[in-house]
Chain A
Amino acid sequence: DAGITQSPRHKVTETGTPVTLRCHQTENHRYMYWYRQDPGHGLRLIHYSYGVKDTDKGEVSDGYSVSRSKTEDFLLTLESATSSQTSVYFCAIRETGLTYGYTFGSGTRLTVV
């Protein structure tokens, strides 16, 4: 268990409001990721981080921003939530070592109404 905690687990929010999702890890991993999962699309990368204050965009970054001020926390913000951002959001970490794998958090189910 890579010690990944996502919060909240569920959230319902209104269109146009800002929303922040949190990913917390306890094992000092350098790389962290945010994905969204939608039917028919698998998991798509939103943003990722390769260190404190070092982030980059993924495939579907429009409408999202991220921040990483501490190694253990990676925040995903929806600036102004839209119904198209209703999704399940997963955080992941990349493990260390030559045979590294990726471990995923439990997910956050976000509904924008």
Chain B
Amino acid sequence: ELKVEQNPLFLSMQEGKNYTIYCNYSTTSDRLYWYRQDPGKSLESLFVLLSNGAVKQEGRLMASLDTKARLSTLHITAAVHDLSATYFCAVDIGTDKLIFGTGTRLQVFP
């Protein structure tokens, strides 16, 4: 059974600082997704990572995938308040299903 673990579960960080969210998964996969969710809203797709070594960047967010280590990271550079949200990773292992991590709630304060 596929397990997807994220850490930390909660992250409070100061504006301007850098931090990384980790996503570990238990079964081989080369397809991983990152989503953002604002309170009371739906999930917004951030990144689709499709192969080992894939790296994608959008603004202050950068995601990477290491399929051998079964690890994806979401790196936040110089955080700003607008990045406050919950971030989810999700893994597709090719069985037509998408399995989510528990999410990381990010709060950015001045």
Contacts and interface: CB of A to CB of B under 8 A. Distances in A.
Interface of A: 31, 33, 35, 40-45, 48, 50, 56, 58-59, 90, 92, 94, 99, 101-107
Interface residues of B, number: 18
B61 interface: no
B100 A43 contact: yes
B42 A102 contact: no
B42 A104 contact: yes
Interface stretch (B12-20, B43-51, B65-73, B77-85): B43-51
Nearest to A92: B98
Interface of B: 33, 35, 41-43, 45, 48, 50, 88, 90, 96-103
A48 B42 contact: no
A102 B43 CA distance: 10
Given A90-B43, A101-B33, A104-B42, A58 B97 contact: yes
Contacts of B99: 45, 59
